[in-house]
Amino acid sequence: MSAITQNERPATTARYSSLAPPRRYLFGPGPSMVHPRVYEALSKPIVGHLDPFFIQVMQDIQQLLRAPFGAGDGTTMVISGTGSAGMEASVANFVESGTKLAVFANGYFCDRIIEMGKRQGANVVRFEKPWGTTFSDKEAADFIRREKPQLVAYVHAETSTGAVQAGSAICSAAHDAGALVIADCVTSLGGIPVDAATTGIDIAYSCSQKGLSCPPGLSPMFLSQRAMTWLGARSSPVRSWYLDLKLIYDYSTVSHRYHHTAPISMFYALREALVVIAEEGIENRWERHRRCHDAFVKGVEAMGLRMLVPEGQRISTLNTVCVPEGVDEAKVRRRLLDAQGIEILGGFGPLAGKVFRIGIMGPLATEENVQFLLEELRKSLTAEGYRP
């Protein structure tokens, strides 16, 4: 085979121009906009995954996660993987063959937990309600008392519906039954209170790209003392070696022995995102998102639009707005993207074509950005024939 000459190389690579992503306003359910300081952190030189500097970065992150999680005396750590990796780690580490897993099913991500549980050999029972609804304290307690599970799972903030599920009654009933509780906090961490310790959550997982305003790729986790004790006593090996929390905890917190090559730059980014949150103050951040949510709801209702989820059960960082009758939601979303680079998403599953899913998180959660979004949404709806 002859060597490629210098003159031939441009012909091979000419079609690849310099990378230039379009400018977007990420008003969807995630990923959210990234703070400039986080982008800067991504550009820092990498070190080895066993370097003392990187070990300190991991420890900083563990400490900085305590306030967003409301960790109390629990443990925080980070999985090298997206929020789905955190979900799978939660299920794989606390399900053994035949474990009875009770799941509160009212959206897409509850069903994902169920699928993962089945693959781990769990005996899954589900309490199902329509998408966009939540479970009352009595419903939750009655279900757990009836089923007597060993593990309970619910989604705190359901990305597919915009509904937030109160967890205190679930956790209380589960603990009375001797069960551990898994909570999906993918869409809540950093944007609304999680209060893991006071709620009674035993295992919580999240992601880096929503309320924390960081690029996707990491899954922060919280484990209660009860969960850590159970994990330490587990005699059967976890079926997933990569997601074995005992190994990850040992690497990140105890011996720092090699487990895997962590994505160094993403840990830099998450550390900086959490520092930005700490500087603002977590309570101030929650309040800022709440104010923007209230302003947005007031604005869409003034247009004659309706929210899917009742007041008091809504995620303040993720709004589900019902699509007006006769309007093609995909065309509205396309107009927003083409005109101003605004990304919002539609529904899926039973909500396909019926809702807009609109996230107002992180850097975009300001009153000015809310008014900008409302005005552009009004223009796009009007262009598609909607009249308030």
DSSP per residue, 244-260? -HHHHHIIIIIS----S
Rounded CA-CA distance 345/333 in Å is 7
Task: For CATH 3.40.640.10, list the domain ranges present in the chain.
Answer: 36-278
As a whole number, mean pLDDT of residues 21-29 equals 97
Going from the C-alpha of 332 to that of each of 114, 302, 326, 379, 386, the distances in angstroms are: 34, 18, 12, 9, 10
pLDDT at 1: 45
* 72-100 pLDDT, tens digit each: 999 999 999 999 999 999 999 999 999 99
Q: Which of 106, 111, 62, 49 shows the shortest CA–CA distance to 84?
A: 111
pLDDT at 17: 86
Helical pair 329-340 and 367-383, crossing angle rounded to 10 deg: 120
Three-class secondary structure assignment of 324-336: CCCCCHHHHHHHH
* Domain 36-278 is found in CATH 3.40.640.10: yes
How many other CB atoms sit within 10 Å of the CB of residue 6? 7
* Segment among 8-12, 151-155, 277-281 with least mean pLDDT: 8-12
Is 0.85 topped by the overall pTM? Answer: yes
At the fourth CATH level, which superfamily is domain 25-30+281-383?
A: Aspartate Aminotransferase, domain 1 (3.90.1150.10)
Phi, then psi, of 223 in degrees rounded to 5: -130, 130
Task: For CATH 3.90.1150.10, list the domain ranges present in the chain.
Answer: 25-30+281-383
Rounded CA-CA distance 338/343 in Å is 9
Q: Are 209 and 31 in contact (CB under 8 A)?
A: yes
